[in-house]
Structure 1
Amino acid sequence: MEKLRIMEMIDKPSLGGGQTALLLLAVNLDRSRFEVVIASGSDGPLAEEARQKGITYIPVSLGKRLSLRPAREMAGVLRENKIDILHTHGGIAGLHGRSAARHAGTPAVVHTLHGIHYLHYRNPFLRRLYVLLERRYSRSTDRLILVCQSDLRQARRHRLAPEEKMTVVLNGTDFRQELGADDIARKRSDLGWPPGQPVVGTVARLHRQKGVSNLLRAAPQILKAFPEARIAVVGDGPQGDNLRSEAQRLGLEGRFLFLGERKDAASVMALLDVFVLPSLWEGLPFVLVEAAALGKPIVATA
């Protein structure tokens, strides 16, 4: 039997939660039944990961704005690669990809919302616009996947798609702790964390959504109660400079630690005594699943 060709398409070629979900899906689909390709922006960490895992990566121009050009170009890519199922992840990929699939005559289209982020935009016009666009594109979507029950409730409230098209698929992980006790001790030493020093931390993009500013504002109280503790943040993003300046203003240098983006973020998570995720909104973040898999105490916003 001829294999079905699936394209997994996502907005950015970085390595965030949506990209992690995409890679897990692409790697674990039955290769005897499906042939999977990944499409996203020009080469980046996602492309490197895909190729290391033996998955074809196709660079596509998604752009940042609503326009017809990316959809026209992607329609050609879908036809050229004889895609049977297009699975889009993220807002821009969801809009351009689904439009392209309609023009290319792609037989089946699936879209995953990794959190309904546009419902939290500060601009009410943009919130309304994206709700209307999702309703419009749901007509040509065979299945709309939400990653948690709360997102399903929001999707129903805003009538994003017909009930029969919506389903919840929870994020999973194949995450395994690979660090033994000696490795953990050595890695803590490399980071300058002495044995027995409690470390609270998070792994997050430094973006308003992740609420790291709230953790920073709470830091003086935490460190007053536990003077020997340290607070570590793995990640970077648009709020990075402001957060570092605020930490300096609060006199937290050397105690509130910005570790930047790290390829070994999962290993650093294994070193933490408490994992914190103070997000303003989320779907089902992978870092929480990974922290739970490590057996870490978790403090998270609901």
Structure 2
Amino acid sequence: MEKTKVLHIITRVVNGGADENTLFTINGLDKDKYQIDLLTGKETESEILKRISIENHINVHQVESLVREIDAVKDFKALMEIYKIIKDNNYQIVHTHIAKAGVLGRLAAKMAGVENIIHGVHGITFPDQIPVHKREFFKNIERFCGLFTDKFITVGEDMKQKYIKANVGKAEDYLTIRSGMELSDFIDASNNHQDKINKLKKELGIAEDDLVVGMVSKLEPRKGYKYYIEVAEKIIADHPEVKFLIVGNGSQFDQLKEKVKNLKLQNNIIFTGYRTDIADVFSIFDIKILTSLWEGLPRVLVQAAATAKPIVTFDVDGAWEIVDQGENGYIVPMKDTEAMVEKLKLLIEDGKIRNEMGEKSQKKVNDSWTVENMVEETDKLYQELLNLK
């Protein structure tokens, strides 16, 4: 049987949610049915690309001019290079991911006459938090690309509705396939022995009986750590036994650390830096919070739920798909730190509610979040499109 040639295009692979999603899909698809290639930009390290190629048994194309930031000269050059790669390899499906790769990849695929063009929407390209003129500019680009997109895959329902409302493509062209995750480690971590939890607490400078509130994400402006620290400051004033963990790295690491130092809160707000043992880190949390200003679908909330943690989050896209208000956590208005403090205090001061909500969180995690389901649904979509042509 002749294999279907598929090209996945993503701007960079840097351990983000969309990257993980893409690699899980590439790895999981049946190699007897598909010949899968990956195209990415210069911001992906060559060693990572080599590992991806070997582990996933795929060909990898690196386009040096494909970069995240808008650059007219580089973008045009990238468009033509992507077009040539697509034309030379005669792909039957081109599946793009995220904004820049989505625009250039779909346009190049259209120019090359590809019959099946799919775009994976992992986050909102035109969030409410950016200036209106930029928002409208990005909406218009998405509307244009929507004219030659056969299917949109969104990782969450909120995102899907926003794109449809913005008149990007047609409603019938959208399909929600939840972001697939390897959750077994998180579910296992919910049963970590107390000795293991105490050992990790000690490593991070946390006393055994301290209560831990945590957030895991890149330290970037859109993650709202400004509000996280504001919430922490108010809680610590009344509950000095509470420790706040900031787990991750990013452009704001030094700036945020300096802010915490100036507030003299470094004994209560702990920066762990980048960690590979995220499931175990989740196991020492008593409460998971999220102060992101925009998301596609917050994978960390799914992971927190799998680890049986109660959740308090801003009203960010995707939160309602994971949190049942008052059941396994609380969703508070965007940037409303007072409301977040109020809900956190309820959980801090009542261990029974914390435990009950944590148990309900874990029950929210079902098969729709698994890698297997994501791959199966993607395969089904590919076959439907191929059978229509």
Task: Normalising by structure 1, report the TM-score.
Answer: 0.91
Match of 2:296 among 264, 273, 283: 283
Question: 2:287: which partner in 1?
Answer: 274
Q: Whole-Å Cα distance in 1 between the matches of residues 300 and 159 of structure 2?
A: 18
1:296 aligns with 2:309: yes
Q: Whole-Å Cα distance in 1 between the matches of residues 90 and 276 of structure 2?
A: 34
Q: Within 5 Å, give how 1:72-83 maps onto structure 2.
A: 72-83=80-91
Task: Normalising by structure 2, report the TM-score.
Answer: 0.72
Match of 1:50 among 49, 52, 76: 52
Please report how far the alpha carbon of residue 221 of structure 1 lies from its aligned counterpart in structure 2 after TM superposition: 1.8
User: Larger helix proportion, structure 1 or 2?
Assistant: 2
- Structure 1 residues 83 and 20: alpha-carbon distance in aligned structure 2, compared to 1, 3 A threshold: same
Q: Whole-Å Cα distance in 2 between the matches of residues 50 and 73 of structure 1?
A: 21
- Structure 1 residues 52 and 228: alpha-carbon distance in aligned structure 2, compared to 1, 3 A threshold: farther
**Residue identity matched to 1:5:** K
Match of 1:202 among 205, 208, 215: 215
**Residue identity matched to 2:84:** G
Deviations 1:191-220 (A, max 9, x none): 222323221111111222211111100112
Please report how far the alpha carbon of residue 257 of structure 1 lies from its aligned counterpart in structure 2 after TM superposition: 1.3
Please report how far the alpha carbon of residue 130 of structure 1 lies from its aligned counterpart in structure 2 after TM superposition: 0.9
Contact 2:279 2:307 in 1 (8 A): no
Q: Whole-Å Cα distance in 2 between the matches of residues 234 and 215 of structure 1?
A: 12
Question: How many residues align structurally?
Answer: 302
Aligned partner of residue 119 in structure 2, secondary structure: strand
Deviations 1:31-76 (A, max 9, x none): 3322322222234385366246334333223123243210100112
Contact 2:204 2:272 in 1 (8 A): no
**Residue identity matched to 2:62:** P
Q: Whole-Å Cα distance in 1 between the matches of residues 199 and 50 of structure 2?
A: 28
Q: Whole-Å Cα distance in 2 between the matches of residues 31 and 23 of structure 1?
A: 14
Aligned partner of residue 53 in structure 1, secondary structure: helix
**Residue identity matched to 1:92:** K
- Structure 1 residues 21 and 217: alpha-carbon distance in aligned structure 2, compared to 1, 3 A threshold: same
Please report how far the alpha carbon of residue 160 of structure 1 lies from its aligned counterpart in structure 2 after TM superposition: 0.9
Aligned partner of residue 56 in structure 2, secondary structure: coil
Contact 1:19 1:46 in 2 (8 A): no
Q: Whole-Å Cα distance in 1 between the matches of residues 125 and 196 of structure 2?
A: 38
Q: Whole-Å Cα distance in 2 between the matches of residues 81 and 194 of structure 1?
A: 58
Q: Whole-Å Cα distance in 2 between the matches of residues 92 and 167 of structure 1?
A: 21
Q: Whole-Å Cα distance in 1 between the matches of residues 205 and 85 of structure 2?
A: 49
Q: Whole-Å Cα distance in 2 between the matches of residues 223 and 52 of structure 1?
A: 48
The unaligned stretches of length 5 or more in structure 2 are 316-389
- Structure 1 residues 71 and 234: alpha-carbon distance in aligned structure 2, compared to 1, 3 A threshold: same
Q: Whole-Å Cα distance in 1 between the matches of residues 247 and 50 of structure 2?
A: 21
1:249 aligns with 2:262: yes
Aligned partner of residue 175 in structure 2, secondary structure: strand
1:262 aligns with 2:264: no
Q: Whole-Å Cα distance in 2 between the matches of residues 60 and 141 of structure 1?
A: 22
The runs of 4+ residues in structure 1 deviating greater than 6 Å are none
- Structure 1 residues 270 and 38: alpha-carbon distance in aligned structure 2, compared to 1, 3 A threshold: farther
Contact 1:230 1:255 in 2 (8 A): yes
- Structure 1 residues 155 and 41: alpha-carbon distance in aligned structure 2, compared to 1, 3 A threshold: same
- Structure 1 residues 49 and 117: alpha-carbon distance in aligned structure 2, compared to 1, 3 A threshold: farther
Between the two proteins, what is the percent identity of the paired residues? 29
How large is the Cα RMSD of the aligned pairs? 2.1
Contact 1:15 1:46 in 2 (8 A): no
Deviations 1:92-131 (A, max 9, x none): 0011111111222222111111121423353322211111
